[in-house]
Structure 1
Amino acid sequence: MTVDSRGVPLEDYMLDDRSSYVKLPTIPLPQGSRVIVGDDAWRAAMDIASAATGHPLIAVDVYPGADVAAIVARIGEVLPEAEVIDVEEAAAADPEAIEALIARNLTDDRVFGVMSHFTVDEFYDAARLSSLQERVDERSRATVLVGWGADLAARRRADALVLVDMARWEIQQRMRAGASNWRAHNGDLDVLRKYKRGFFVEWRTADRHKRTLLDRLDLLVDGNAAQDEAGAVRGEDLRAALAAATATPFRVVPFFDPGVWGGQWMKNTLDLDPAEHNYAWCFDCVPEENSLLLEADGRVVEIPAMDLVLSRPRELLGARTFARFGAEFPIRFDFLDTMGGGNLSLQVHPLTEYIRDTFGMAYTQDESYYMLDAADDAVVYLGVKTGVDPDQMIADLRAATDGEHPFDAEKYVNVFPAKKHDHFLIPAGTVHCSGENSMVLEISATPFIFTFKLWDWGRVGLDGVPRPVHIDHGEQNIQWERDTEWVERNLVGQVEELRREPGLVEERTGLHELEFIEVRRHWFEDEAAHDTEGTVNVLNLVEGDEVEIVSPTGAFAPYAIHYAETFIVPAAVGPYVVRRSPNSRSERFATVKAYVRGTRSTDS
């Protein structure tokens, strides 16, 4: 039995009757569409291409991370009448040339690089690509081009355009299992360095390229699954499903990951695999890494949730949010579980000017901790104590890196008791971390990995290697004036009641005025009316067992949401109501809602 520091069983804080959490939410494909399975996808591509005159040309563009050699071999078996060409082998630049091209973006740091602005053609040898294009133009039989950038070799004139798409989370799992980066042959490299290359170079370039494909695709193939099980969907059905998704609430597919400080709350409350030692993170609204499951007749095709962001940004985000951030999803919801685990690393996030000038990122990770649950001894470390000597604190942090001089966090950092439904605001530049025995819903902006660890409590990672700390970066971003009094005035207990009606209370719980995200909490007994007012809303059901999201005009079917589930309401939805579900047994409910300030239609 796991207990908190006061001996209270952690099971007392976990609500096993709320395990209706849906781990594989789906989005329906249009009526009449079907999921094509396995080798039938390649036959369907040939059928599409054969409708053209002459020798059919199929371009199979592939997201970097897929096994191109295996795809080439499989297509060759299924379509023996065709010449199947590995575009990457035929025309990609040499690995050494690629390394030289991207060296400045990768830097020598284990974690951080510089955002790139490459286009996929820069990773190809111009002469070899031109030669391949001439060979394709002179083809005397059906031809299939396969690889990242196959559309280039086809000069965007393929008779059938196919995309083998992959979610970043699947790519990360393959990296952990020994997969290399694109054309890199670095399978045994530190996973953090492989992720860095993907994040700063490959995925940015691949999404930029993919955006040119989505409106033209004839077929999308699920690259996350084994080839004989992979589903595919026709391009017109894909586009119709994505268009429909912007007119109704939806959920992305959450993923869960263990960590050195991970806890037991999610395992118990969300009905996860009990064999896992712990779960530290759940990413329940990070479209850049999460997936969508498109479903028809009980079969699914997994696609990156980013496909929706890239193809329908105005309808999803709203015109003003899109104008401000481009085709990026700026709000992130995730879980940090330390119930029965340990403290998060003591950390700080970069200021906007620093992240832009140093890493090429346009905005920073302002964030907050919403306490979804908390044991009696839960705390949050937040801001430096009044009177702290910055030089001495940095010196002690540096001394702690030798593993022999533990950093005395409570000497330098404020420690605040934390209870369920508290909301702690954490603008960039504020030293912070959650303590053990907490279940945090982190509501933040979405620059992903830009966390400067200052002290990791003397731990090593799950791989046995000390986790990297970034004191040099941290020192340049800590806002020392955010001392005890400032934090108490600005970041703790900032709940403001905005509206009270019978059975309903609306509150502003944050975020800080320096942050671009507004968070509202609605307590209600039966229902609460909302309106996107032209900008995307992200919500989580933080109290109550089950609600449903309905349209006051019947524009979409009722959508069920269970305790702790995060859901997205696209800007195009407009008015919606969150109400008690007919299946509910709870007496009251609460949601937290986040949106981008200054982007609502009423903000002008």
Structure 2
Amino acid sequence: MLWENRQSNYDKYPKIKIKEIDELSSEAYEGYADIVSKIKATVENLHKEKVVIVLDYYHGVRVEELQINLIEKLNPVKTFYAEEARLPEKILFKKLARNITDDRVFGVLSVHKINEFYDELKIEALKKQIDEIKQGLIIIYGIGASLITKGDILIYGDLARWEIQQRFRSHELDNWGVGNYDEDILRKYKRAYFIEWRVLDRHKREVFEEMDFLIDTNKKNNPKMITQKAFYTALEQAVNQPFRLVPYFDEGVWGGTWMEKVCDLKRVKNNFAWCFDGVPEENSLYLDFKGIVVEIPAIDLVFVKAKKLLGEKVYARFGAEFPIRFDFLDTMNGGNLSLQVHPIIDYIQQNFGMHYTQDESYYILDAKDDACVYLGIKEDVDKNDLITALKDGQQGKVFEADKYINKFKVKKHDHISIPAGTIHCSGKNSMVLEISSTPYIFTMKLWDWGRVGLDGLPRPVHLEHGEKVI
């Protein structure tokens, strides 16, 4: 088997080395001291009595760190925190309730804009206070700060979605303005996925066009900053060459041991179940500016260079969204995935606001002799009997998967097609490269072999959705 006695050559930290076109195209700064120095120099070069710096950023940025190490070091005469104009959570919750839903996993995709989260009267009051100050350095900071003014210098703080998830899990981070630090991670992720990330992505696409600097805030107390020109230069280079995204690995109840060996991973507690290695919405890019490595969300490349990256036909169909994803599913010496189904297109459109669904395939990278895939309902099975048996499974009875679902043996290099609406899962002792369309969160679990999650809670099962799309 491939994974035994093998020296790992898997690159966990792929970088794009940015070629210098001119001096400005490679401007990168590391650490607060250098960043503060560059911003101060930029302020001085404006030769103005009054200078307004706007520091806008994504939710998840460590605000106190920025306050102490960046804002205070710039010695402003006055600072304004834009989020004081944010609408109270009780008002926003009513506005967002239809998108949040009561479900633990599924919401409805938001089409809100960031200005809908703010009180217009408070925004106008802040603008008036800023206008009344006639000289000195003024700093406006906060999520959506550029709604108040673009200022003389506009800085945007960004970070990777995987880093946001880690801050969710460690209880360091709540959903934006909610204060739910200790809430169930699935509910926090749901609100971020269906609402916050949609709203903030729309906002930062506009900010990119006007910002002067972008700050990578992924590493604690070790920010990196690049100019807007460096940012655009790097993305232009990336879209004209082969490149890889920065992978990340996550543990799971059915996780295996193949990736741990082949990818040279260090397991802390549980087996690794997933590797996300080609999902721009989730992964990052490492941009190497002469040794200063700046991490940005890979989706930034899709936003800025969509047509060139995707091609005109794909862009015309999907817009600035990367419609295909690649990830690894490791069940080697692990367990079965949950028995699941993905919604058909009409159902995902009508219920979740997504415009296409997850058709997928399994390419078998490696397998033991007993590896298998569950795929599709057996021909002699009545659907009503199947649903009854699945419902009984949620009441403590064992669901006899082999009685209702086809079970196929698989071997290395097999490739299995799984259209939406098809019940499926990979069995234990296989290593799967999953190639699918992008809407990855819309997985309706039907049966999970009686397991609980790593958090000790029952893993969510969605028969009420699943029975309508099988």
Q: Normalising by structure 1, what TM-score?
A: 0.75
1:345 aligns with 2:338: yes
Partner Cα separation in structure 1 for residue 28 and residue 340 of structure 2:
45
1:329 aligns with 2:322: yes
1:78-477 mapped onto 2 (5 Å cutoff): 78-88=73-83, 90-139=84-133, 140-154=135-149, 156=150, 158-178=151-171, 179-227=173-221, 229-402=222-395, 404-477=396-469
- Give 3-state SS (helix, strand or coil) of 2:206's partner: coil
- The 8 Å contact of residues 76 and 139 in structure 2, kept in 1 or not, is answered as no
Amino acid at match of 1:452: M
CA deviation after TM superposition for structure 1 residue 316, in Å: 0.6
Greater displacement, 270-279 / 100-109: 270-279
- Give 3-state SS (helix, strand or coil) of 1:280's partner: strand
* Residue in structure 1 matched with residue 12 of structure 2 by the alignment: 23
CA deviation after TM superposition for structure 1 residue 208, in Å: 0.5
Partner Cα separation in structure 2 for residue 300 and residue 18 of structure 1:
27
Partner Cα separation in structure 1 for residue 379 and residue 190 of structure 2:
37
Identity of aligned residues (%): 50
- The 8 Å contact of residues 68 and 86 in structure 1, kept in 2 or not, is answered as no
1:535-574 mapped onto 2 (5 Å cutoff): none
Partner Cα separation in structure 1 for residue 320 and residue 128 of structure 2:
35
CA deviation after TM superposition for structure 1 residue 274, in Å: 4.2
Amino acid at match of 2:238: A
CA deviation after TM superposition for structure 1 residue 475, in Å: 0.3
Partner Cα separation in structure 1 for residue 267 and residue 60 of structure 2:
30
Partner Cα separation in structure 2 for residue 146 and residue 81 of structure 1:
12
- Give 3-state SS (helix, strand or coil) of 2:177's partner: coil
Gap change, CA 1:277 and 1:110, over 3 Å in 2: closer
- Give 3-state SS (helix, strand or coil) of 1:206's partner: helix
Consecutive unaligned residues of structure 1, counting only runs of 5 or more, are 1-11, 479-604
CA deviation after TM superposition for structure 1 residue 82, in Å: 4.0
The structure showing larger relative contact order (alpha-carbon pairs under 8 Å, at least 6 residues apart) is 2
Amino acid at match of 1:152: L
* Residue in structure 1 matched with residue 57 of structure 2 by the alignment: 62
Partner Cα separation in structure 1 for residue 277 and residue 348 of structure 2:
25
- Give 3-state SS (helix, strand or coil) of 2:254's partner: coil
Consecutive unaligned residues of structure 2, counting only runs of 5 or more, are none
- Give 3-state SS (helix, strand or coil) of 2:146's partner: helix
Any runs of at least 4 consecutive aligned residues in structure 1 with deviations exceeding 6 A, and if so which?
none
Question: Which structure has greater helix proportion?
Answer: 2
CA deviation after TM superposition for structure 1 residue 100, in Å: 1.4
Amino acid at match of 2:11: V
Amino acid at match of 1:461: G
Partner Cα separation in structure 2 for residue 218 and residue 95 of structure 1:
31
- Give 3-state SS (helix, strand or coil) of 1:98's partner: helix
Q: Normalising by structure 2, what TM-score?
A: 0.96
Partner Cα separation in structure 2 for residue 95 and residue 73 of structure 1:
27
- The 8 Å contact of residues 56 and 143 in structure 1, kept in 2 or not, is answered as yes
Gap change, CA 1:15 and 1:87, over 3 Å in 2: same
Partner Cα separation in structure 1 for residue 35 and residue 354 of structure 2:
38
Partner Cα separation in structure 1 for residue 286 and residue 77 of structure 2:
32
CA deviation after TM superposition for structure 1 residue 152, in Å: 0.8
Among 70, 79, 85, the residue aligned to 1:75: 70
Gap change, CA 1:49 and 1:357, over 3 Å in 2: farther
Partner Cα separation in structure 2 for residue 180 and residue 79 of structure 1:
28
CA deviation after TM superposition for structure 1 residue 76, in Å: 3.5
- Give 3-state SS (helix, strand or coil) of 1:258's partner: strand
CA deviation after TM superposition for structure 1 residue 224, in Å: 1.0
CA deviation after TM superposition for structure 1 residue 50, in Å: 3.6
* Residue in structure 2 matched with residue 512 of structure 1 by the alignment: none
Count of residue pairs the alignment pairs up: 462
Deviations 1:355-402 (A, max 9, x none): 001000000000000001111110000000111011111111111112
